[in-house]
C-alpha cells in the first residue's frame, strides 16, 4: 500500500480544497455553521463547496471534473481542522 498523504493532509484533494477555500481565517467568522458537531460541519463544508462550484462555473466537462474531484476530499479532516482553528480564535485568553 502506498502513502497518499500530501503536505500533512489525507491526500492532495483535501489539502488543495482546504488551501484554496478554507485557509482564510475569515471563513471562521461565519455564523450558522455547526462548529460543535464535526459530522454536521463536514456535510456543510461539502455542500458549501459544491454550491460554490455550481454557481461559479457553467455546465460541462470542467464542472463535472471539479465536482468529481470533491469525491476524494476528506471532509471530516477539514472539519476537524477548522474546529480547532475556530476554538483557538474564539477562546477567551
pLDDT tens digit sequence for 67-79: 999 999 999 999 9
Residue 1 has pLDDT above 70, yes or no: no
61 membership: H or E segment, kind and range: helix 61-69
Torsion of CA 73, 33, 48, 88, to 10 degrees: -50
Residue 2 has pLDDT above 70, yes or no: no
Query: What pLDDT, on a 0 to 100 scale, did the predictor assign at position 59?
Result: 98
For the chain, the straight-line distance linking the first and the last C-alpha, in angstroms and rounded, comes to: 44
Query: What pLDDT, on a 0 to 100 scale, did the predictor assign at position 45?
Result: 96
Cβ atoms of residues 50 and 70 within 8 Å = yes
Query: What pLDDT, on a 0 to 100 scale, did the predictor assign at position 16?
Result: 97
12-15, Cβ contacts within 8 angstroms, sequence gap of 24 or more: 12/72, 13/69, 13/70, 13/72, 13/73, 13/74, 14/72, 14/73, 14/74, 14/77, 14/78
Residue 27 has pLDDT above 90, yes or no: no
Q: Which residue has the higher pLDDT, 93 or 28?
A: 28
Percent of the chain whose predicted confidence (pLDDT) is above 70 = 96
Query: What pLDDT, on a 0 to 100 scale, did the predictor assign at position 30?
Result: 82
Amino acid at each position: 500500500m502506498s502513502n497518499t498523504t500530501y503536505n500533512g493532509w489525507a491526500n492532495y484533494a483535501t489539502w488543495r480544497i482546504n488551501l484554496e477555500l478554507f485557509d482564510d481565517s475569515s471563513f471562521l467568522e461565519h455564523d450558522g455553521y455547526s462548529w460543535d458537531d464535526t459530522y454536521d460541519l463536514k456535510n456543510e463544508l461539502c455542500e458549501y463547496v459544491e454550491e460554490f462550484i455550481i454557481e461559479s462555473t457553467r455546465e460541462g466537462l470542467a464542472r463535472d471534473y471539479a465536482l468529481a474531484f470533491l469525491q476524494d476530499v476528506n471532509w471530516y479532516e477539514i472539519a476537524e481542522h477548522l474546529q480547532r482553528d475556530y476554538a483557538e480564535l474564539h477562546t477567551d485568553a
